[in-house]
Amino acid sequence: MATLQAFSPLDGRLLGEYPVATADDISRTLQRARTAASIWSHTPVKQRCQILASFGELVLAELDAIVDCLRLTGGKVACEALLGEIYPLLDLLAYYRKHAPDILAERGVATSPFAFPGATAKVCYRPVGVAAVISPWNYPFQLSVAPLLTALFAGNAAILKPSELSLPVGQLIVDLFRRLDLPLDLVQWLPGDGSVGAQLIDAGPDLVFFTGSLAGGRAVMRQAAQHPIPVLLELGGKDAMLVFADADLPRAAAAAVYGAFSNSGQVCVSVERLYLQRQCHDQVLQRLLEATEQLRVGAGADAELGAMVSGRQIELIKAQYDDALAQGAAASGPLVCDGNFVRPVVLWNVHHGMRLMREESFGPLLPVMAFDSEADAVALANDSEFGLNASVWSRDIAKAERVAQQLQVGNWAVNDVIKNIGHAGLPFGGVKRSGFGRYHGAEGLLAFSYPVSGLTSRSHLPKEPNWFPYSAQHYRALQGYLDFVHGGGSLRQRIKRNWPALQAFREYSAFDLAQRWHNLKLLLSWHRNYR
């Protein structure tokens, strides 16, 4: 049986060996998930919320063990594990526990008394069935558990396929869910590389939620299209930070250093392009250089940057760094690597012809470029194939929001970085090549559901207005009704010119005058409110 070994990027120690899931494993896992889903989907939403709330209690009880696992597996510092992996999950859990019953509640929809006499309409939401969650290595706890919880709140079973670089975290997650009062096999996992993810998609889950690179997203989409299976893709970013001269410059500089180098830059919403208005460029750049020099890199308790997870990613940022210098960029220093620990670097005199400004870096590089006007800043920020997140910095909030609303992104923040994606009530996702679909907020919960529309007629009429027989007279009456509802002029004018047509439909109401008048009032009321 093939196995995968997990090694810590901190010191290279072996963390465990995991059997690679086979085709038979995948098939059996999916069958068990369907059985569990059939039970869980019939559990009332409020009861689901009560059961899933216990997950937060488990996380708090096991906090140090979880942080240690994240530190050893992903190389991140302890504070980053708390702030980036655990805190947002607890917020999301609390948000859905409070709001899921309302979000998923059946809702009535108004109907026209002419088109649907005696009818009521409603929409209800059903779970998709089995959701496959394919998660990345940079935030293996948060970016696995958030979609898993969302799937469960919506009433689904879930199968996790974590990155082969974060298998210890995958095991930890499944072990935590097994301690909840959930149907057997409601949450399962499949260890393996990309080929296991492809086989999982081919096995036929009902939804695929993928977080990863653009190349990985394309592969998932191609695979899912063969069946077809709906996909939600959370892909890469090349996030811009725009700092105007009237901003709080010390705060903006501190935010840029955090936004670029948090988790050694291995964040999908890292600040990967910093644009400074020319009047403040040199002042802010000096602050950046001083702050970057003070950052502590290592595995100690007081370190601010930990290890990078992947040697392949280190090679990629080396290539970007070398390309930038070859094209005339200046750097705060050499790219120093000590094993998987990489010193952060600020670069300036950059331009959009450099790989550093076009490709996702996912490492501790911060390129800085000047702009002159609002229009210039917007054009530079939008000159990217990615569109995930952005931030705008100015004391003039109206100006900052005006600029932010022109950016081609799925999310933005004014005078803050990264943190906005952790807001549990705000849907998060990208545009352009940063993917599609959303999680968090009501939109995220509904993404793991499908709407079912229902119409119930209580009419006792012998026939409906659209039923046979048709005639030239019926056509003219329908014409008049369409003009009454959608034509121009005042309501009085439309009633006057279409009164014969409205009279033609009197058979669809009770025959006595009072009832006909009541139906007409209903029609006029509907027209005023929903036209």
Contact call for residues 37 and 129 (beta carbons, < 8 A): yes
> Does residue 203 fall inside a structural domain?
yes
Tell me the CATH number at 204: 3.40.605.10
The DSSP code sequence of 25-61 is HHHHHHHHHHHHHHHHTTS-HHHHHHHHHHHHHHHHH
Q: For residue 280, which of 386, 216, 202, 370 has the smallest C-alpha distance?
A: 370
Which residues, 6+ apart, have CB-to-CB distance to 264 below 8 Å? 75, 76, 305, 306, 307, 308, 342, 344, 363, 364
Q: How far is CA 6 from the centre of its chain?
A: 28
> Which residue in this structure is represented by tokens 């199968």?
159
Domain range for 508: 461-530
pLDDT for position 525:
67
Instruction: Give the Cα separation of 54 and 7 in Å (integer).
Output: 31
Say if 12 falls within a structural domain: no
User: With contact defined as beta carbons under 8 Å apart, do 505 and 481 qualify?
Assistant: yes
Largest CA distance in the chain: 91
Q: Which of 85, 234, 304, 360 is catalytic?
A: 234
State the amino acid at position 341 in one-letter form: F
Answer whether residue 435 is part of any domain. Answer: no
pLDDT at 519: 58
Q: Are residues 82 and 153 in the same domain?
A: yes
Please check whether residues 278 and 392 belong to one and the same domain: yes
Domain boundary among 408, 433, 451: 451
1 assigned to some structural domain: no
Spatial separation of the C-alpha atoms in residues 275 and 277, rounded to whole Å: 7
Count how many domains the chain has: 3
Residues 171 and 87 in one domain: yes
Instruction: Express as a percent the part of the chain with pLDDT over 70.
Output: 95
Q: Going residue by residue through the chain (531 aa), what tens digit of pLDDT does each one get? A: 899 999 999 999 999 999 999 999 999 999 999 999 999 999 999 999 999 999 999 999 999 999 999 999 999 999 999 999 999 999 999 999 999 999 999 999 998 776 787 889 999 999 999 999 999 999 999 999 999 999 999 999 999 999 999 999 999 999 999 999 999 999 999 999 999 999 999 999 999 999 999 999 999 999 999 999 999 999 999 999 999 999 999 999 999 999 999 999 999 999 999 999 999 999 999 999 999 999 999 998 899 999 999 899 999 999 999 999 999 999 999 999 999 999 999 999 999 999 999 999 999 999 999 999 999 999 999 999 999 999 999 999 999 999 999 999 999 999 999 999 999 999 999 999 999 999 999 999 999 999 999 999 988 888 887 889 999 998 998 999 899 888 999 988 988 999 888 888 776 654 334 445 555 666 666 666 655
147, 173 Cβ separation under 8 angstroms? no
Residue 391 lies in a domain: yes
pLDDT tens readout for residues 201-253:
999 999 999 999 999 999 999 999 999 999 999 999 999 999 999 999 999 99
Same domain? For 266 and 298 the reply is yes
Q: Which residues, other chains included, contact 516 with Cβ-Cβ below 8 Å and sequence gap of 6+?
A: 506, 509, 510
Same domain, 207 and 348: no
* Catalytic-residue membership of 234: yes
Same domain, 221 and 243: no
Q: Are 349 and 200 members of one domain?
A: no
Q: How far is CA 18 from the centre of its chain?
A: 29
User: Same domain for 230 and 244?
Assistant: no
Residue 281 lies in a domain: yes
- The answer on 385 and 342 residing in a single domain is yes
Start-to-end CA distance of the chain, whole Å, equals 65
98 & 148 share domain: yes
Q: What is the rounded distance in angstroms from the CA atom of residue 242 to the CA atom of residue 255?
A: 12
pLDDT at 214: 94
Same domain, 186 and 140: yes
Say what the pLDDT of residue 31 is.
98
State the angle between helix axes of 194-203 and 214-225 in degrees (0 to 180), rounded to the nearest 10: 30
186 within a domain of the structure (yes/no):
yes
Same domain? 404 vs 483: no
429 domain residue, yes or no? no
Torsion, CA 121, CA 124, CA 129, CA 133, rounded to 10: 120
In this structure, what CATH number is given to the domain that contains residue 327?
Answer: 3.40.309.10
